[in-house]
């Protein structure tokens, strides 16, 4: 596994998003990479799948672009790269669909954040409502994947993005997805329990 990135350098990330927004994305990735707890079954520190896999994602682009179909509207675009390794494989020695779903879930959230932060000063990561994935072709050990995510819509409560995972090594589409998220409601004050 790749080591956790200790220093954040937004200058290595392409795209026209501000350095502050790029830093926020890199800090969010870093926070996911550091997730760990003590395993109840073994009593030893355990990072977990998300931390292990996220530590291998490399943010390469963060941009705000005019929509092709509606140039007066904007979309967020975020691109990550990752190399498939043996920890990501299923029993058939292909990249496990669940591992790929987790990568899509995390990566497709990022353009939603950068578009909100760039256009109205408030980025939102939201919580997932649905993640619809179509798996097109397998990815093998050593394959370099390019995960391209763009926003579809950002409303006051509903947020959506699309994602394509391209196999750079084999020049084919691995998966495509639509991710719908929502802004969670503020917790309501709880009423005292009745006896």
Q: For residue 127, give the H/E element and its range.
A: strand 127-135
Q: Which pLDDT score is estimated for 48?
A: 78
Distance CA 14, CA 34 (A): 24
165 CB-contact burial (10 Å; exposed 0-12 / middle 13-18 / buried 19+): buried
Q: Which pLDDT score is estimated for 50?
A: 84
Note the Cα 140 to chain centre separation in Å. 21
Q: Is the pLDDT of residue 4 over 60?
A: no
Residue 40, C-beta contacts closer than 8 angstroms, at least 6 positions apart: none
pLDDT tens-digit series, residues 38-75: 677 777 766 778 888 888 999 999 999 999 899 999 99
Average pLDDT over residues 86-97: 95
Where would I find the H helices in the chain? 19-34, 49-54, 97-119
Task: Name the percent of the chain lying above pLDDT 70.
Answer: 89
Distance CA 125, CA 149 (A): 14
Full set of structural domains in the chain with CATH: 12-17+56-182 (3.10.129.10)
Distance CA 116, CA 60 (A): 20
Mean of all residue pLDDT scores within the chain: 89
């Amino acid at each position: 596994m790749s080591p956790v990135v200790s220093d954040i350098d937004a200058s290595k990330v392409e795209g026209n998003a501000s350095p502050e927004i790029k830093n926020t994305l890199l800090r969010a990735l870093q926070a996911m990479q550091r997730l760990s707890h003590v395993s109840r079954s073994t009593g030893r520190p355990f990072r977990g799948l998300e931390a292990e896999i996220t530590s291998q994602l490399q943010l390469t682009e963060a941009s705000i672009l005019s929509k092709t179909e509606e140039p007066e509207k904007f979309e967020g675009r975020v691109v990550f790269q990752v190399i498939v390794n043996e920890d990501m494989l299923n029993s058939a020695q292909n990249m496990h669909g669940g591992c790929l779903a987790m990568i899509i879930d995390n990566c497709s959230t990022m353009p939603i954040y950068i578009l909100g932060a760039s256009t109205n000063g408030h980025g939102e990561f939201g919580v997932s409502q649905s993640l619809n994935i179509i798996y097109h072709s397998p990815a093998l050990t050593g394959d370099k994947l390019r995960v391209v995510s763009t926003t579809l819509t950002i409303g006051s409560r509903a947020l959506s993005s699309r994602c394509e995972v391209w196999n750079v090594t084999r020049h084919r589409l691995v998966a495509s997805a639509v991710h719908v998220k929502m802004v969670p409601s503020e917790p309501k004050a709880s009423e005292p329990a009745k006896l």
